[in-house]
Structure 1
Amino acid sequence: MGTQPKRRMTKQRKKILEVLRSTTSHPTADWIYDQVKQEIPNISLGTVYRNLNVLKEMGEIRELDYGSSHSHFDGNAEKHYHFTCLECGKICDVDESLHFELNQNVEEKLGCSIDYHRLEFFGVCSECKANKNKTD
């Protein structure tokens, strides 16, 4: 694979990145667009999508695609896991640093080389669990 051309940080990219890093909610492109539009009124949704893809290619953000009709984006590009609530759809970071150990264990077991892995947690968040307990 060839090297990616160096991309500059445009005003739009900088604002999109700022908005995305200001939240831990793992928003959709539409939400990001609504926030950025407050400061850059003439920006289009297409521009936001294109710049999210460029930021992803640059390694500045992560795209969380769970096979639904819309992706969520994460301003934290460091390797980490996510928990998704099956009731309300909220996505939150799981602060566990098992990446290296898991990669190493699988490499040893299979005799292969691991570049990366993806592990996601799904269940019911504490708020939905509490609400469900109140109604039971």
Structure 2
Amino acid sequence: MKDLKYSRQREAILDNLKSRVDHPTADMLFQSLRKDDPKISLGTVYRNLGLLTEIGKIRKLSDINGIERYDYNTTDHYHFACKACSKLMDLPAATIVGLDNMFKHEDIGVVESHSLILYGYCKECYQKMLYIDSKKAV
């Protein structure tokens, strides 16, 4: 890692994040990491997540409830947040090329990156809602 002293725990956090698609919270990561390293502390996880976010190795997102989640993928991509179950997923959609430049304006400043989260209901929650609505109609 650039400009950082090697840390086995930091490497474990990065490896864990890299293997996931669920955009885990710090606590979710902590629970997962404890299986292999029972001595790791929640404070260590939080400190390293903060550091990794600060240097741009990972991205911090907020879910529908404002809970911080983490993403290993730092390239521009979009997310979908379910309003029912709070699931946060990568959207399999092409990014809008040049979006950062669309908002280039002297009064605003320079856009370096962006984050887009679409809110709605995931497939599973939407199916449950349809089922409940169909039962009400009977």
Q: Does 1:45 align with 2:42?
A: yes
| 1:65 shift after superposition | 2.6
Q: Secondary structure at the match of 1:98?
A: coil
The superposition leaves residues 9-54 of structure 1 with CA deviations (integer Å, 9 ceiling, x where unpaired) of 3100010111111110011100100111111111110000001111
The match for 1:32 among 29, 33, 38 is: 29
| 1:66 shift after superposition | 4.7
Count residues with an aligned counterpart. 130
Q: Does 1:9 align with 2:34?
A: no
State percent identity of aligned pairs: 35
Q: Matches of 1:10 and 1:85 in 2, distance apart?
A: 35
Distance 1:100 1:24, change over 3 A: same
Q: Matches of 1:100 and 1:43 in 2, distance apart?
A: 41
| 1:90 shift after superposition | 0.3
Q: Which amino acid aligns with 2:11?
A: K
Q: Which amino acid aligns with 1:130?
A: Q
The superposition leaves residues 95-125 of structure 1 with CA deviations (integer Å, 9 ceiling, x where unpaired) of 3333432123222xx4563222222111111
Aligned to 1:117: 114
Structure 1 regions of 5+ residues with no counterpart? none
Could you state the TM-score of these two structures normalised by the residue count of structure 2? 0.83
Aligned to 1:74: 71
Q: Does 1:20 align with 2:17?
A: yes
Could you state the TM-score of these two structures normalised by the residue count of structure 1? 0.84
Aligned to 2:100: 103
Q: Matches of 2:44 and 2:23 in 1, distance apart?
A: 19
Q: Which amino acid aligns with 2:82?
A: C
Q: Secondary structure at the match of 1:43?
A: coil
| 1:69 shift after superposition | 5.6
Conserved 8 A contact 1:24-1:92: yes
Q: Matches of 2:17 and 2:131 in 1, distance apart?
A: 34
What is the CA RMSD across the aligned residues, in angstroms? 2.0
Q: Secondary structure at the match of 2:81?
A: strand
Conserved 8 A contact 1:7-1:58: no
